[in-house]
Amino acid sequence: MSLTTRTQAATREELATNLSLAGETPDEIATKIGLSEARVLAALDVAGARPEDVWLVRDYLDHVISEAGGTPRPYSSLSEQMRAAAENWFPLVDVDQAMREATR
């Protein structure tokens, strides 16, 4: 599953909007999900990032926004419908598991 330049740009914009809604910095996200800040930044940029990192950051942002009572902006390419297809290509990391492991 690869994204075109156009879908990468749309995904980058959607992630940026949800990052703003979540009110957290990439460094805070990195700490909470156990990735380096560089990997979080790459995931937010989409191009050249590990696909599983992009999904993990997406899921984390959705989690934070929902926990605060908000509604995340929907994703055009990272939709729930595309999750099954993504899982056929690479292993997805559960956001709750990542947060638990990051706090150990």
**pTM for the model:** 0.92
Res. 98: pLDDT tops 90: yes
Show the tokens assigned to 59: 């899921």
Q: Which two tokens stand for residue 62?
A: 């959705």
| Residue from 54, 75, 60, 50 nearest 29 by CA | 60
Above 60 in pLDDT, residue 1?
A: no
Structure tokens belonging to residue 9: 């740009």
What is each CA distance from 52 to 6, 44, 69, 70, in whole angstroms? 20, 12, 26, 24
Evaluate if residue 84 carries a pLDDT over 90: no
Q: Is pLDDT at 3 greater than 80 in this prediction?
A: no
Annotated domain spans of the chain: 5-102
pLDDT at 2: 67
